[in-house]
Structure 1
Amino acid sequence: MADAAGRLTKLAEEVLGAPLPVRIRAWDRSESGPPGAPTLVIRHRRALRRMMFRPGELGLARAWVAGDLDIDGDLYEALDRLAGLIWERDDAPRPQRAAVVRALARPEIRAAARELLTLAGAPVPPAPPAEEVRRRRGPLHTLRRDKEAISHHYDVGNDFYALVLGPSMVYSCAYWESPSATLEDAQRDKLDLICRKLGLQKDRRLLDVGCGWGSMVLHAAREYGVRAVGITLSEEQATFARKRIAEAGLADRVEIRVQDYREIHDEPFDAISSIGMAEHVGRTQYGEYAAALYRLLQPGGRLLNHQIARRPVADEEAYHVDEFIDRYVFPDGELAPVGQTVGQLEEAGFEVRDVEAIREHYALTLRSWVANLERHWDEAARLTSTGRARVWRLYMAASALSFERNRIGVNQVLAVRTPESGESGLPLRGRDWTG
């Protein structure tokens, strides 16, 4: 059938009741849409079948990961233009959503849908890409299921992550002095900020929950002389971190364990850092997480909880995790509003002393990671798979826009296990962390 792009554009605009914000280039080389706009490239009609059998975000994600769908032009601009149709569709005013539903019921739209079936070809649903996690069964956040989820995300190769993250090997939001700073400097400044907030001193005992490739414990031991324990559920991360620590001559001060926070029983610690780990904990488990960290701290000890936050929704019970993120990126991961996080830390017994929002910093960090991935694309695809590299590029670019558009944020929450005397150990003036 000729002019597939024109037919698809017409169908989309009839459903939306507005011009399509991107161009379309179809497998028959036809093009349609606003001149000069980023182009949505439909390389194979199989992409349509993926979207028809799983309408919405998951169908689009499968087509993208499989390479059936691509973007020609600026990826960020394309995602920004498409956000209202895909990721932010649930935020549209109710009358706008109702108008789309009414449009889908019109006879001419049903006729166009039948034409779309013809365009899509054989009515057989394509198999999901190999990089997708199939739907899991059983209770959330058991020790085994959490370990499997962490392995999916982090055990994709240390060499791959080295390309994306750079020499710092820090996989969390950096702390930028200015947009022109280097990623390495921004990550070093983040680690140092956390050390200062925790009031680290020589021979103090630090626990880093979700230690990744060991960057936090390495910095804290080298620069502040602490004795540190880092825990991770990733075997690959642990191997890499131990090698770094040995090469730095700090094996007598830093221990790396493959261990869940629920399995630690050699308290007390003087300080605990949890950087980009609590997103994996989940709503049902967060109270236990907060209580465990409180138990592991000695009175007067400080916790620095660095965590991504979503915006509150009217019906918290109706909140659902994005399908693309759940199936391809962070299985079983959940985001909570910062107020909810603070409340649960307080319920566990902590005194929350400071909350610092650094949302814009994460957008800068993600754009740097995307640039690293694009710069080393061929090698990154060779180290994992082309599909996996496409997952990371899409999720990091889309996440950067989500931070920039204030759809999600990230916060550093400083809390203290204040002793019965009421002496928190913090200086009188806020954010003078060491007095």
Structure 2
Amino acid sequence: MQDAALRLKTLLEQLLGVPLPVRLRAWDGSEAGPPGAPALVVRNRRAVRRLLWKPGELGLARAWVAGDLTVDGDFYTALDLMSGLVWDRGEDARSLGETLRDPEARAAVRGLVMMAWPPLPPAPPREEVRRRSHLHTKRTDRRAISHHYDVGNDFYEIVLGPSMVYSCAYWPAPDATLEDAQRDKLELIARKLDLKPGGRLLDVGCGWGSMAIHAAREHGVSVVGVTLSHEQAAYARKRVADEGLTDRVEIRVQDYRDVADGPYDAISSVGMAEHVGSERYLEYARTLFTLLKPGGRLLNHQIGRRPRRDESAYEVDEFIDAYVFPDGELAPIGSTVTQLERAGFGVRDVESIREHYALTLRRWVANLEAGWPLAVRLTSPGRARVWRLYMAASAVAFERNRIGVNQVLAVRTPESGASGMPLRARTWG
């Protein structure tokens, strides 16, 4: 009798205390759940074992990356429906220990153990990173950056498209091209920084060189771009040479803490500060402050999260930490502004562009799906599944206002107090 899906659904609902919002399709072909909803396909008993040994987000992620779980139906709808189980349980939700003190929940766990027999812990997928600490030393930061960015330039070409910009685009309209939206983002940053011919720009976390090239070509500045990724640096240097900009753009494999040739007129830090860590953030801000000349501007473009009830407790997104951004940390925008001000900056403008990142991520997912066979060959099936889940789930998180992205414009205000900012500063569009 084919009834694994119904039995699994019943046991999970007993354990969770809420109805499952998606259908379940089990390894025996059976289905159960809301008609017409996307189906979570449980391909084998190993998926159940993964959830038993790592309940919650990490167990689900391991099953997804290993191919033990898939989705049949609209991927975004499935993630949105599942988010209530993974994200939105609330700060007053019962802990696992409290849940298991409930006799009905204990009975459900025993039932799941029997379904998953033999109940042995499956090995994590090989794409998972073994995190040792969150010290954010130069060595650990190099290792974390290498894990994420040295997947291969060819892979990122599939996902990012010709712009090769790996941060939130700035959309003039939802139906604009990704390339136009990324160009508009680079130009927005350049205008906020008031780049002028002959000036010096430091691009911290320069990626594949797009900001450095745009600033040098369109605004006539000299640029130093620093990254910890050797693959990114090699790619960026070739792009710079192809553009004929080697006299104005230098790409270094260098930690921003080791940059010693300031002062610069401006600094752009786009999608890099998430890697710094809360314990090091004031050091990061002070380092950039000292690298700017008086009156110089910093544009800090950074993903932020919603504030928590207890900001002293360290929390991490298990999936992101294990598979995507090892040692990455998100902070509320208020904390970011406070740290920049503690470092000596005058914060002059904060702009939230949260909805723009949801649009960007959906385009990246579409690019990945369109180039799926090649992406799998260039990396691995598991790595491609990591990126699809990470980007699609992030799009949903931005849409639901769980996370945001902000551009903070700050100035190293001279002792005279004359910031050099116009009386009506928002002239950049």
Normalized against structure 2, the TM-score is what? 0.97
The residue aligned with 1:122 is 118
The residue aligned with 1:228 is 223
The CA deviation at 1:221 is 0.5
The CA deviation at 1:319 is 3.8
Report SS of the residue matched to 1:62.
helix
| 2:413 pairs with 1:418 | yes
The CA deviation at 1:124 is 1.4
Report SS of the residue matched to 1:368.
helix
The residue aligned with 2:382 is 387
Q: Deviations over 1:332-378 (max 9, x none)?
A: 00001101101111111111000011000000000000000011111
| 2:40 pairs with 1:8 | no
* Separation in structure 2 between the aligned mates of residue 216 and residue 109 of structure 1, nearest angstrom: 53
The CA deviation at 1:219 is 0.3
The CA deviation at 1:2 is 4.3
Report SS of the residue matched to 1:218.
helix
| 2:163 pairs with 1:135 | no
Amino acid at match of 2:69: L
Aligned length: 429
State whether residues 2 and 29 of structure 2, in contact with CA within 8 Å, keep that contact through their aligned partners in structure 1: no
State whether residues 427 and 433 of structure 1, in contact with CA within 8 Å, keep that contact through their aligned partners in structure 2: no
Aligned pairs for 1:346-425 within 5 A: 346-425=341-420
Normalized against structure 1, the TM-score is what? 0.96
State whether residues 352 and 413 of structure 1, in contact with CA within 8 Å, keep that contact through their aligned partners in structure 2: yes
- In structure 2, the gaps of 5 or more residues are none
State whether residues 198 and 433 of structure 1, in contact with CA within 8 Å, keep that contact through their aligned partners in structure 2: no
State whether residues 15 and 100 of structure 1, in contact with CA within 8 Å, keep that contact through their aligned partners in structure 2: no
The residue aligned with 2:266 is 271
* Separation in structure 2 between the aligned mates of residue 207 and residue 286 of structure 1, nearest angstrom: 18
* Separation in structure 2 between the aligned mates of residue 426 and residue 225 of structure 1, nearest angstrom: 21
* Separation in structure 2 between the aligned mates of residue 331 and residue 100 of structure 1, nearest angstrom: 25
RMSD: 1.5
The CA deviation at 1:104 is 4.3
The CA deviation at 1:103 is 6.1
The CA deviation at 1:35 is 0.9
The CA deviation at 1:99 is 10
State whether residues 426 and 433 of structure 1, in contact with CA within 8 Å, keep that contact through their aligned partners in structure 2: no
- In structure 1, the gaps of 5 or more residues are none
The residue aligned with 1:88 is 88
The residue aligned with 1:46 is 46
Deviates more, 1:418-427 or 1:361-370: 418-427
The residue aligned with 1:158 is 153
* Separation in structure 1 between the aligned mates of residue 344 and residue 99 of structure 2, nearest angstrom: 53
* Separation in structure 1 between the aligned mates of residue 351 and residue 102 of structure 2, nearest angstrom: 50
Match of 1:327 among 319, 322, 331: 322
Deviates more, 1:106-115 or 1:174-183: 106-115
* Separation in structure 1 between the aligned mates of residue 359 and residue 244 of structure 2, nearest angstrom: 33
Report SS of the residue matched to 1:303.
strand
* Separation in structure 2 between the aligned mates of residue 159 and residue 68 of structure 1, nearest angstrom: 27
The residue aligned with 2:171 is 176
Q: Identity percentage over the alignment?
A: 72
The CA deviation at 1:106 is 4.2
Deviates more, 1:301-310 or 1:121-130: 121-130
The CA deviation at 1:321 is 1.0
* Separation in structure 1 between the aligned mates of residue 67 and residue 157 of structure 2, nearest angstrom: 24
Amino acid at match of 1:147: R
The residue aligned with 2:252 is 257
